[in-house]
Amino acid sequence: MSTSRSFSPGPSGATADQGTVTDRLVEANQRYATDFVDPGMDARPVLKVAVVACMDARLDLHDALGLELGDCHTIRNAGGVVTDDVIRSLTISQRALGTRSVVLIHHTGCGLLSLTEDFRHELEDEVGQRPAWAVEAFRDVDQDVRQSMQRVRTSPFLLHNDDVRGFVFDVSTGLLREIDAA
């Protein structure tokens, strides 16, 4: 697993010798593109699965699940929570691009375990406008996986809700623990 520990941007996101983090990413892309070969695939996932997961940087989903490029659709957000936008993406994934299965992955040590909806009110106090979105914080990761499974299973927009499974990824061991829908 590669990490970026040796790259330490300052408070502005810049480093003394490498420019900004974004500059570093663009340079990495230029190196990547020199050897890039079009794999000749379309947007339909080979395994017909969509994975919804937290955006946490400790989750390397492709490695953790043994996935290759083109195997799945990956939808990530804070907490891996099934929001209206996740339902939008899953609906497109299923109806237009052929997925049939949904895998939901939350994880131990999630930042949403330490937030509350007060975060929205604090933002409103700071910037003078309340966000239109909910924080979707939770206290029990297992229960939130169950709630996310229920949101997928009951959405009228999704064609395929019989193969929906939820898991908690342990960031210390790398193991998935399946959550019973109960």
Question: Is residue 1 predicted with pLDDT exceeding 90?
Answer: no
Question: Is residue 2 predicted with pLDDT exceeding 90?
Answer: no
Contact 103, 165 (CB under 8 A): yes
Query: Which residues touch 17 (CB under 8 Å, ≥6 apart)?
Result: none
What is the b/e burial string over 107-142, where b = at least 16 CB atoms within 10 angstroms of the residue's CB? beebebeebeeeebeeeeeeeeeeeeeebbbbeebe
Distance CA 111, CA 147 (A): 18
Interval 125-153: pLDDT, tens? 999 999 999 999 999 999 999 999 999 99
Interval 72-99: pLDDT, tens? 999 999 999 999 999 999 999 999 999 9
Q: What is the pLDDT of residue 11?
A: 60
Q: Which residue has the higher pLDDT, 4 or 77?
A: 77
Q: What is the pLDDT of residue 5?
A: 52
Q: What is the pLDDT of residue 181?
A: 84
